[in-house]
Amino acid sequence: MMMATCRIQRDFSLKDENSLRLDVSSKYYVIVHSVAELKIILSNGIVAANKVFILGGGSNILLTKDYQGVVLKINIKGIQIVYEDDQYVHVEIGAGEDWPSVVEYVVSNGWGGIENLASVPGTAGAAPVQNIACYGHNLHETLLSVDAINLANGFKKTFSADECDLGYRTSIFKTKLSGQYVIVSIVLKLNKFPVLNTSYKSRYESVENELFKIGRPPYNVKDVYQAIVNIRKRKLPDITTVGTVGSVFKNPLITQKQLAKVKKLCPDIHYYPANHLIYTNINCNSGINDEMVKIPAAWLIEDMGWAGKRVGNCGIWKTQPLNIVNYGNATPEEYLSFINMVKDAVFNKYSVSLYPEAVIV
């Protein structure tokens, strides 16, 4: 008999389930709290007969219309040590665990590896799908493995980090295996003797400058964590009060020929190697001979004078132009129209195409 917590709800409002707070609904909606519940629900006739969308924290999705299928909310919790030696600790984390709380837990134990990923909204299960990255660290540097359930047959498979095919804001779960698996847990390899990464710097700020405000070296993992939290609080909208999907656009990859044209309009713009996933102390504006380079999308938007621009219920966050927010009652059509306006403006001025980072449903 199906457990009560697996009850399928019909015509369910998703307004409080997506951080952008768009008022859309799902034909069917169900929350699962364990792998056992998940296997039960996958055998249900309604689920088997409909398309399924996996929902974590709802912070990196753009719901463009009512979903005519099953939204499967993953709420599998639990954090446990599965291996430990003198140097490292391997921690298994349920896919439904809140990612900011996971980082806080890890840092409170003095373990290093994800402190630079502090305050990234979402769940642990969503982290490898997107290969979350910020302030000098990418998840692939710490991820050991992912356990996932095949939606078609209910079988569990363990993917090594290499098998996840993690890249810039992507993974095998967004490409070859999109819609085929649901992640139920991840395992991270954390260092008991943290090697701090304080190399991140942007146009206006750096981790090292923030650390200097906090105290004096030698810094520890908790200091780096607090520095990241401080920067994010100043720079980004509060997800609890402002509708935001996070960064809407990826940083574009362009040719050296395109870069030369962009630099005529933005002489000081930073650029990086195309495969630059890990921040180091390289001089980002020299010594790059690759045909393709990566540039900051936020720089282009700000350079147009669009930081803080608002049209109706939608606007660009002044201190982080990659955040396009819903100030009130934006409809999906209104929001899509606004981001397309941004894309068109960037292309018309710089001949650079912007592509979404958020998952558009």
- Whether 88 is in a domain gets the answer yes
54 and 133 share one domain? no
Reported as a pLDDT band with limits 50, 70 and 90, residue 168 is confident
Residue 162 has pLDDT above 80, yes or no: yes
**pLDDT in the model for residue 204:** 80
Reported as a pLDDT band with limits 50, 70 and 90, residue 289 is low
Tens of pLDDT, residue by residue over 327-344, are: 989 999 999 999 999 999
113 and 177 share one domain? yes
**pLDDT in the model for residue 5:** 55
54 and 98 share one domain? no
Q: Residue 16 is part of a domain; what is its CATH number?
A: 3.30.43.10
Of 249, 276, 275, which Cα lies nearest the Cα of 346? 249
pTM: 0.89
User: Which amino acid type is present at position 137?
Assistant: H
- Whether 297 is in a domain gets the answer yes
Reported as a pLDDT band with limits 50, 70 and 90, residue 16 is very high
Angle between helices 221-235 and 207-214 (to 10 degrees): 110
Contact 111, 192 (CB under 8 A): yes
Q: For strand 143-150 and strand 253-255, is the pairing parallel, antiparallel, or unpaired?
A: unpaired
Residue 129 has pLDDT above 90, yes or no: yes
Q: Which of 35-44, 128-137, 289-298 has the lowest mean pLDDT?
A: 289-298
**pLDDT in the model for residue 84:** 97
Cα dihedral 196/91/88/161 (nearest 10): -80
Contact 150, 180 (CB under 8 A): yes
Specify whether 169 is catalytic.
yes
Residue 171 has pLDDT above 70, yes or no: yes
Reported as a pLDDT band with limits 50, 70 and 90, residue 43 is very high
Total of domains in the chain: 3
- Whether 116 is in a domain gets the answer yes
CB atoms within 10 A of CB 43: 10
Question: Of 23, 43, 74, which closes a domain?
Answer: 74
249 and 159 share one domain? no
CB atoms within 10 A of CB 236: 19
**pLDDT in the model for residue 276:** 57
Q: How far apart are CA 130 and CA 213, in angstroms?
A: 32
16 and 116 share one domain? no
DSSP string, 19-36: TT----EEEEEEEE-SHH
CB atoms within 10 A of CB 120: 25
Sheet holding 314-316, edge to edge: 243-247, 323-326, 314-316, 310-311
Q: How far apart are CA 108 and CA 110, in angstroms?
A: 5
Annotated catalytic residue within 21, 26, 169, 171: 169
**Which residues fall within 8 angstroms of residue 49, CB to CB, at 6 or more apart?**
none
Region 199-218: mean pLDDT is 89
Angle between helices 221-235 and 99-108 (to 10 degrees): 150
- Whether 154 is in a domain gets the answer yes
- Whether 328 is in a domain gets the answer yes
Specify whether 171 is catalytic.
no
Q: Which domain, by its residues, includes 11?
A: 4-74
**pLDDT in the model for residue 288:** 53
Specify whether 357 is catalytic.
yes
**pLDDT in the model for residue 278:** 42
86 and 158 share one domain? yes
Mean predicted lDDT score pLDDT of the chain: 91
Q: Is 341 helix (H, G, I), strand (E, B) or coil?
A: helix
Contact 256, 269 (CB under 8 A): no
Question: Of 21, 49, 74, which closes a domain?
Answer: 74
Q: Which of 134-138, 301-305, 347-351 has the lowest mean pLDDT?
A: 134-138
DSSP string, 92-142: EEETTSBHHHHHHHHHHTT-BSSGGGTT--SBTTTHHHHT-EETTEEGGGT
Question: Of 49, 74, 99, which closes a domain?
Answer: 74
Of 169, 162, 126, 167, which Cα lies nearest the Cα of 143? 162
Annotated catalytic residue within 97, 141, 302, 357: 357
